[in-house]
Amino acid sequence: MAQYASKYYDPVKAHEYYEKHKKLKGQSSRTSTKGLNDEGKNAAKYVKEQIMAERKEYYKRLSETLKDKIAQVKERLKGASKEERAEAIAQLREQYKSLKEGVKSAFQEKYAQEMDKIKADPKFKAGKKKKGKKKRKSR
């Protein structure tokens, strides 16, 4: 087996990186619109837009709350060193980040639940496509 030409290439590290990042992120079958007719796809699109707008509004309120808390920390730690203030603010931002991730997954689950309801409704199901040979007309 030929070695890679660069002196900076480490095959062990490359393999570790590959193993760490090899999980593919495909579209969840719960949130896929496959199997829905046009009316079902339109319903799914509408639901997704509504949930994403709700999520965006929630993020906006969360961001405003973070700004308020940062202002409070700055006011409270006015006499403290810059490092103390920076550490307290960094802690708040870290909490915000983890809370935002939780909110994101909650809204994704909400969308998946709505899609389950849409898929369960028979009026949104697409008709089955027939596969096979077409019969020729006899003369």
DSSP 122: G
The span from the CA of 74 to the CA of 70, in Å, is 6
The model carries a pTM of: 0.65
Q: What is the mean pLDDT of the chain?
A: 85
pLDDT attached to residue 132 = 64
Over the stretch 119-129, which tens digit does the pLDDT of each residue have?
888 888 887 76
pLDDT attached to residue 29 = 78
DSSP 79: T
The span from the CA of 74 to the CA of 72, in Å, is 5
Does position 3 have pLDDT exceeding 80, yes or no? no
Considering only residues 130 and 16, tell me which one the structure prediction assigns the higher pLDDT.
16
Which long-range CB contacts under 8 A does 88-95 form with residues at least 24 apart?
92/66, 93/66
Residues 121/37, Cβ–Cβ less than 8 Å? no
